[in-house]
Amino acid sequence: MEHNSPRKMIQKTERQKREEEYYNKYVGLLSVDDISFDPICSNSRRPWNSYWHVYELAKSYYKDGKRNLLDFGCGCGITSVRFAKIGYEVNGFDISENNIEVGNNLAKKYGFEKQINLSLQIAEQLDYPPNHFDIIIGFDILHHVDIKMAIPECLRVLKSNGIAIFREPVEVPILDYVRNTKIVKYIVPNEKNFTPGIHITDDERKLTKCDIDIIKNIFGGIEEDRFTFISRFDRFLRKYYGQRSSPLEIIDYIIFKILPFTKYLGEDAVFVLRKK
């Protein structure tokens, strides 16, 4: 596959310019030489982890032969390489030129340069033809974009009977009210930072109920799984168990199974959208 740039020039908004500047800098702070393929190749499963859950869905929707996947906001290309490892023919886009450069280098390093096509684009005005992709997957992208413009574009480029999957942080009114009190913000700041893993841009915000309703109305329905209740404290404990499964995520998984009405206390969601 050739690595093409968008055919048309886009006039970016001030918000998009800030996001572009941020991620052009942020990717330079990352070490992305080695990609872990555990989420797609490991014999173990982690249904309690929202990211692993998305990869499980990606594998389950993959059929014999190549399928056409859009990595919606591909970042530095790690997800694109994993999707190619599953077998997908991958197109990906990102607002950051540096992200695209790193992603193309990763695709070449892992031997997927003919299977992965990354380009510089914005979510609100995609340079793909209508009814083009069998499946769209995005990690932590919708809370950075204009939902009212990006979701119609997602629907436009998706084939009939196609599937879109997004993993996103969502607002939990009671808990987020506490999170945003002055004393908690003083102890655990949530302003712009470049810390790998918990980085925050100027303009990002969790998806609200209004955002979810907009997505639901555009697609005519939405399937939703929630994650991250007690495990929101993992940021303080991750150093103790490294890359192993989070015990708090497992506890959340059990709580949501036994008491399903509590799932809306989860601050992360995986949405499955289907184009009829």
> 259: which 2 tokens?
């008491």
Is residue 68 one of the residues assigned to a domain? yes
pLDDT, tens only, 81-104: 999 999 999 999 999 999 999 999
For residue 98, what pLDDT is reported? 95
Residue 184 pLDDT greater than 90, yes or no: no
Is residue 28 one of the residues assigned to a domain? yes
For residue 6, what pLDDT is reported? 44
Is residue 208 one of the residues assigned to a domain? yes
Is residue 8 one of the residues assigned to a domain? no
For residue 167, what pLDDT is reported? 98
pLDDT, tens only, 121-131: 999 999 999 99
State the maximum Cα–Cα separation within the chain, in Å, rounded to a whole number: 54
Is residue 89 one of the residues assigned to a domain? yes
Is residue 239 one of the residues assigned to a domain? no
For residue 66, what pLDDT is reported? 58
Query: CATH no. for residue 42?
Result: 3.40.50.150
Rounded Cα–Cα distance for residues 258 and 18 (Å): 43
Rounded Cα–Cα distance for residues 165 and 163 (Å): 7
Higher pLDDT, 198 or 70: 70
- Nearest residue to 255 (alpha-carbon basis) of 45, 55, 57, 48: 48
- How sure is the predictor about 116, in pLDDT bands with cuts at 50, 70 and 90? very high
pLDDT, tens only, 19-64: 999 999 989 888 887 899 999 999 889 999 999 999 999 999 997 4
End-to-end CA distance of the chain: 29
Segment 163-170 mean pLDDT: 96
Higher pLDDT, 4 or 135: 135
Cβ atoms of residues 202 and 18 within 8 Å: yes
For residue 7, what pLDDT is reported? 46
Is residue 2 one of the residues assigned to a domain? no
For residue 177, what pLDDT is reported? 66
Segment 147-168 mean pLDDT: 96
pLDDT, tens only, 7-27: 455 688 999 999 999 999 989
pLDDT, tens only, 254-264: 999 999 999 99
Q: Which domain holds residue 130?
A: 14-226+258-274
The mean pLDDT of the chain is: 90
Q: Helix and strand tally (H, E) in the chain? A: 11, 7
For residue 186, what pLDDT is reported? 66
Domain count, the chain: 1
- How sure is the predictor about 187, in pLDDT bands with cuts at 50, 70 and 90? low
Higher pLDDT, 195 or 260: 260
Rounded Cα–Cα distance for residues 179 and 18 (Å): 25
Is residue 244 one of the residues assigned to a domain? no
